[in-house]
Amino acid sequence: MGRDGAARATTGDDRRARLADVAARIEPTVLAGDQRLPVLPALDALVPGLRRGSTLSVDGPAATSLALATAAGPSRDGAWVAAVGFPSLGLLAAAELGVSLERLVLVADPGPDDGDGAGAWPAVVAALVDAFEVVLVHAGQRVRAADGRRLVARTRERGAVLVQVGCSRPTRTAWPEGADVALTVVDATWEGLGEGHGHLRARRVTVEAGGRRGAARSRRAELWLPSAEGGVEPVLPAPVPLRPRRSELA
């Protein structure tokens, strides 16, 4: 092969190398909708990860605690979490449930309601969805259908997770469409109090999970929320006593 042929071969190799480099740069890796943020091990049976771009509703007597528990897994993994509309949210309780306070932003009051459900909160929530990976929302007024649809669409577009807390109470209306995953606390009991004395040590809750599409199958779990140590733990079945063998009874 002459020098001209060698030069052409080298040029062709260089072009193929450059094309391979460009292809590697623009090749999609994992789509945002397929990525999942981790959850605490105690919640795996209910929701095996939070899919980016999805919505999650949390309801029941311990809704705020359960919402914080769902955000604890992503928070521990480095995600930033925002909570809007929780004026009495306890930071100590959030930390005990596993939320990293260094990556938690609170907006206790997103703004006044103008009487038509069109207060400042939709704009505040939209701004938080743009900047945070997990956004907990407790609407203090009626959720207008148009606002709800825009926020759900924005969540999907940005790859965030929107957690709707306590959305089925009588003072509020449901969001325009059901959440992708719905968690409902159907029973909650505190333990530790005797007959008029003692201290609250742990709360035992029963949680049911459902939703749409892949999350439509009903699931149920019992949790300590919080546990005696302050975190989230599954309720383990009581140990079954072993029967002595006949030889040991003789």
CATH number at residue 135: 3.40.50.300
Decide: 89 and 117 in contact? Cβ < 8 Å.
no
Does residue 83 belong to any structural domain of this protein? Answer: yes
φ, ψ at 30 (rounded to 5°): -115, 125
Decide: 87 and 59 in contact? Cβ < 8 Å.
no
Domain count, the chain: 1
Does residue 20 belong to any structural domain of this protein? Answer: no
Identity of the amino acid at 130: D
Does residue 15 belong to any structural domain of this protein? Answer: no
Sign of CA dihedral 233, 236, 238, 242: negative
- CA dist 35 and 53 (Å) reads 9
Decide: 64 and 89 in contact? Cβ < 8 Å.
yes
On the 0-12 / 13-18 / 19+ scale of CB atoms within 10 A, 135 is: buried
Does residue 241 belong to any structural domain of this protein? Answer: no
What's the pTM value of the predicted model, to 2 decimals? Answer: 0.77
Does residue 82 belong to any structural domain of this protein? Answer: yes
- CA dist 250 and 237 (Å) reads 32
Does residue 200 belong to any structural domain of this protein? Answer: yes
Other Cβ atoms closer than 10 A to 168? 15
Decide: 152 and 175 in contact? Cβ < 8 Å.
yes
Does residue 243 belong to any structural domain of this protein? Answer: no
Does residue 207 belong to any structural domain of this protein? Answer: yes
Closest to 141 measured CA to CA, from 125, 152, 156: 125
Joined together, the tokens standing for residue 18 give 């450059």
Domain containing residue 212: 32-234
Average pLDDT per consecutive 10 residues, the chain (250 residues; last block may be shorter): 52 57 43 75 94 95 95 96 92 94 92 59 92 91 84 95 78 66 94 62 93 82 92 83 62
